[in-house]
Amino acid sequence: MKIEFKYWMILGVLALTWGSSFILIKQGLVAYTPYQVGALRLSIAGGILAIWGIPSLFKIPKNKLRYVALAGFCGNFIPMFLFPMAQTHVSSSMAGILDSLVPLFILLFGALLFNIKGTKNQVSGAVIGFLGAVLLIGGDGFSGENSLVHCLLIVLATALYGLNSLILTRYLNDVPSFQLSSALFTIWLLPSIVILFFSGFFDTFEGTEQQLKSLGFVTILGLMGTALAMILFYRLIQATGSLFASMVTYLMPIISVFWGFLVGEKITWFHLVGFAMILSGVYLTQKKEKKVEIV
């Protein structure tokens, strides 16, 4: 399927938005706990989208509501807590790099759970893109600031993202993206508020300069990196398929490294080769080829 230019533009916007989200999470963690950052992010996004989400719940067929709830659980609710928990011991750039595992989980779960056919180019492109993302780590590896255990939390989040994408493609492809996004955030709004309450946020919030600054970063994260970005992402999945949409996770490390450059981090040849491999992987997954079953 030929991808229209507007969907490449959406892919670029999502890469820029989500590639910057790891920095915003780090800034939120300066004043708040991981549970508070996750619950705030979900509460802000859900609080805004609930205006449209409540009516949307009555418009979506009842037999699809369980898939809406499941998609929200896998793609929004749990990962929003896993990333802040992980980033207490994982750098922002490493978090962005590990997020590029999503397409591989889509291929894996697609073959094992959904009987979805893929192509050799898609498999090759996914592997090449991921290896390119790994190169962006440079010589750091799982040491120093990056804890292997906490890195595995991000791997779990990417697995849930992959499962979420397949659920959307298989069961919710006919639900309008805005209706879908607003409905699933509304479903998980109340649990998010409950977690925020029991996290001690309201007891410890004193309106200090740092708390307000971190709250501002999390608000941007909730509105732009969650609410708006998810609407665009679900639209992209419905128009192009889960695998193309997941390519955003291969472009995000480029944004993460760019942020590193702005704060004075060194850019090496590892990064340049990694960029080239990532872009090659994205191209290869979209190259036409006769489909073969991945089993």
Residue-wise pLDDT for 19-70, tens only, equals 889 889 989 999 999 999 999 999 999 999 999 999 999 999 999 999 999 9
Asked whether the predicted pLDDT for residue 210 surpasses 50, the reply is yes
Taking the C-alpha atoms of residue 123 and residue 120, their distance in angstroms, rounded to an integer, is 5
pTM higher than the cut 0.85: no
Q: Rounded mean pLDDT of the chain? A: 84
Instruction: Indicate if the pLDDT at residue 125 is higher than 90.
Output: no
Contact of 254 with 278, CB cutoff 8 Å = yes
Q: 210 burial class (0-12, 13-18, 19+ CB within 10 angstroms)?
A: exposed
Residue ranges of alpha helices (H) inside the chain are: 5-28, 34-59, 62-72, 78-86, 92-98, 102-113, 120-135, 148-171, 177-187, 189-198, 201-204, 209-222, 229-240, 242-246, 248-262, 269-285
Backbone angles phi, psi at 40, to 5 degrees: -65, -45
Sign of torsion, CA 206 207 210 211? Answer: positive
Dist. CA 243–CA 257, nearest whole Å: 23
The pLDDT tens digits for 149-194 are: 888 898 899 999 999 989 998 999 899 989 999 999 999 999 999 9
Whether residue 238 contacts residue 177, with contact meaning beta carbons closer than 8 Å, is answered with yes
pLDDT at position 145 over 60:
no
98-102, 211-215, 238-242: which has the highest mean pLDDT? 211-215
Q: What is the pLDDT of residue 294?
A: 43
Grouping H, G, I as helix, E, B as strand and the rest as coil, residue 229 is helix
